[in-house]
Structure 1
Amino acid sequence: MPTDAAVDAKFTIEPFDAKSQDRTAFSCGVPQIDNYLKLTAKKGSKADVVRIWVVLDEDRSTVGFYGINMHAVIAENMPEELAKKAPRHGM
Structure 2
Amino acid sequence: MRVNTVSPGPVRTAWWTEEGGAADILSARTGADRDAVLDRVAPELMNLSIPRLVDPQEVADAIVLLASPRSAATTGADLAVDAGFLKQV
TM-score, normalized by the shorter chain, greater than 0.5? no
Identify the structure with the greater strand proportion: 1
Bigger helix fraction: 2
Which one scores higher on RCO, CA 8 angstroms, separation ≥ 6?
2
TM-score bin, normalised by smaller chain: under 0.3
TM-score, normalisation: structure 2? 0.26
